[in-house]
Amino acid sequence: MSGQVKALREFPREELFAPGHRLCAGCGIPQLVRTALKAVPDPKVVVTATGCLEVATTIYPYTSWRVPWVHSAFENAAATASGIEAAFRAFEKKRGVKRPKVVVFAGDGGTFDIGFQALSGALERGHDLIYICYDNEAYMNTGIQRSGATPRGAATTTTPAGKVIPGKLEKKKDLIGVAIAHGIRYAATLNPAYPVDMYNKIVKAASIEGPTVLHYYTPCPTGWRSDPARSIEIARLAVQTRVWPLYEYEDGTYRINVLVKNPKPLEEYLKLQGRFSHLLLPENKWVLEQLKRDIEENWNRLLKLAGLA
């Protein structure tokens, strides 16, 4: 496919996401935004829901955005993007002006929960946009509350691990599965430890007419109580333990992009994050075993969908 690369050195040099933003050290979001703005060809318009990315990059009178950018509320980024896309479509039809690609960045709170209705509507109507959910697995910007993306067993401020509960009891929602159920042509998972894979998937999403959904894993040292210097190590372990499978769906076909035949022990991933430290205690072994079953069931499901089992 035109525009795809084989190595980091082939990434475009131009930086459309300026340095000097206030995102935390070790946060994975800047890498996503830098990569996406390089991978999506011009013209493009960015819509950002309220969240970590928005508040840290647009502190008045400063901005990190070197592209047309629109801030939207927590719950309606997909609706805002739909309106922009429809307006440019009409403008193109009447005046022949080339439509920009509309790119949405929203966190897991603004996607899995608060913004899901707007996203579902945009996918069902078939708007030509790329929707990218940066998933740090809780409402990090507002105080580390649990979201529908928080994995089972994780401690947050609304699911504190202690004598009453051992962290969140429910499993993580399957965002990609729900998105595919809307009949979209392309969806994929991304991870900052695999930047070339991420870049090429965004290029592919940009080449497709209609809605596409990308689900990005981003470490959050603040909410995960992890060492900022080990964020990429944690992200890589997420793939190597099958916590975060890298796969894509395109026109009815599933592909697993990193086939992990011999996964590393889940404990190697958990022990680097304070939010999971209680799962390594004997009294919470049952939660750990349940989490392991969740991961294996999801992996086996993907193997079947990809025709590998």
Predicted confidence (pLDDT) per residue in 135-180, tens digit: 999 999 999 999 999 999 999 999 999 999 999 999 999 999 999 9
Q: Is the pTM of this model over 0.95?
A: yes
The per-residue pLDDT for 7 is 97
b vs e for 270-301, b when ≥16 Cβ sit within 10 Å of the residue's Cβ?
bebbebbebbeeeebeebbebbeebbeebbee
Q: Are 53 and 135 in contact (CB under 8 A)?
A: no
Residue 117 to residue 82: CA distance in whole angstroms: 13
Query: Residues 290-295: contacts with CB within 8 Å, 24+ apart?
Result: 290/152, 290/153, 291/151, 291/152, 291/153, 291/266, 292/266, 294/151, 294/152, 294/171, 294/172, 295/241, 295/242, 295/243, 295/266
- What's the rounded Cα separation, in Å, for the pair 281 and 155? 14
Give yes or no for a cis peptide into 219 (omega within 30° of 0).
no
- Whose CA is closest to 132, among 174, 176, 171, 100? 176
Residue 149 to residues 111, 137, 176, 270, Cα–Cα distance (Å): 9, 5, 12, 17
pLDDT at 268: 98
C-alpha 86: how far from chain center: 25
Residues 52 and 219: beta-carbon distance below 8 Å = no
pLDDT < 70 regions, the chain: none
CA 145 to centroid of chain Cα atoms: 18
Provide the pLDDT for residue 2: 78
pLDDT of residue 10: 97
Q: For residue 240, what are the CA distances in angstroms to 8, 45, 151?
A: 21, 34, 17
pLDDT by residue (tens digit) across 11-22?
999 999 999 899
Helix (H, G, I), strand (E, B) or coil at 142: coil
Predicted local confidence at residue 309, as pLDDT: 86
Give the Cα separation of 235 and 269 in Å (integer): 9
